[in-house]
Homo-oligomer: A and B are copies of this chain.
């Protein structure tokens, strides 16, 4: 039983909709990608989107040509415009991750992923700086300085991994950061720039090294960025990977370390930290991503991630994503909130529910969060993550105090094994690789949360809400006062009590 004063305040900084991750940028040219993003924006509404590949081959932004004996650079913004037009039409804006290296500007041939992003430093840092400036200037020309100036800029991705940055060469990254941040600020000093976009490998050394470097060279740094995945190394099997999750408290502890390191520098104390990627598993074929456990685990994370971070970007919004190739089935453990065929997964609803948690925090604990909105209604998300496979239901009781007396309407929306869980039904259908229209329609219907509604009465300012949560359930709750009207002659109880009677005279 939790006792909650609805006029009180508990710390809850909900940034769940600040940013979301995406597959490489040119996939935003795809219709299915855009359809999935539209679904996400309609129901959740993220402010920003971040992914790789801005300068990679398929965006075709940079290339060289020969003019007599001279090799010259040229820029092509045809596809960049298409992508940005689409983003803005859905009211989402990019966090501009600058990378990877255009082939014609690269110092080497090392690539990452199925789609072969070049991860070597620039062959010529001046031309890299020119590319950055040209791109930003083009965006400001087309979309207006006032808008573009607020699109955060991040320098590269996970340079602490040799797979993403040749040899994980720290000094080379520092050079890249220095050249880039200067190019950005020369373009317009109001742009916000951040780094080092590291993941959890050797992260303490990298973070300290980076902050020392920025401090020493007196470089701008508007936010610190890092990634956060909460699973052990996967066990592969065929096209798929299976994982063990970290205990949540372990995972939060590592984040604390980053926060502490940043705060240990007087000049960086309270500096905004952006978790520019997070998820349970870091592989795009981790079957857990499609499950209700994932949804419940992420709900638990979202309740606390805002305590120390200004942004945490779930990796990724949708399943059009080609890092390890094209998936074979719709439920392939992709990172996305949405499966191919525009089918929301359970974790989609975790974000949808969190997006409704506006207002002031009034309860936060391991079972969930409540907020009081500006209009006086109460909203909340509760979860019962089955971390250890115990399959136990749980009852959550909340005693609210401080409400106006009267009648209230209580709505629950429910995701658990029975509701909002298309994976189960897809399995029952025989795990079809190619969904036909009927199957897609059914799975979308199945993927909708269940609903429960009822009335409760508040007297003496108090009411007790009691929710039974099945294993891996995530539940949105909403309590709002009823302004009851009654049309002349309408009687609900009489309405639902009508019956049939045997033949008689009239």
Contact surface of A with B, Cβ cutoff 8 Å: 29-32, 34, 60, 63, 65, 74, 76-79, 81-82, 86, 138, 142, 232-233, 236-240, 242-248, 250, 287-288, 290-291, 293, 297, 325-329, 332-333, 340, 386-389, 407, 409, 411, 418, 423-425, 427-434, 436, 442, 445-446, 448, 450-455, 482-492, 494-504, 506
Contacts and interface: CB of A to CB of B under 8 A. Distances in A.
A318 to B, nearest CB: 13
Contacts of A446: 451, 453
B76 A326 contact: yes
A433 B246 contact: no
A220 to B, nearest CB: 29
Given A76-B326, A409-B428, A430-B483, 13 more contacts: A78-B328, A78-B329, A78-B434, A79-B326, A239-B490, A287-B498, A409-B429, A409-B430, A427-B492, A430-B482, A431-B492, A432-B485, A442-B451
Contact of A237 (B239, B248, B450, B491): B491
B245 A433 contact: no
A487 B486 CA distance: 52
A263 B244 CA distance: 70
A451 B445 contact: yes
Nearest to A248: B500
Contacts of A238: 487-490
Contacts of A243: 498
Contacts of A504: 232
Contacts of A491: 237, 240, 242, 287
Nearest to A80: B434
Contacts of A81: 434
Contact of A500 (B65, B244, B429, B494): B244
Contacts of A236: 489
B250 A503 contact: yes
A506 B387 CA distance: 20
B411 A442 contact: yes
A249 to B, nearest CB: 9
A428 B454 CA distance: 6
Contacts of A490: 238-240, 287, 329, 332, 431
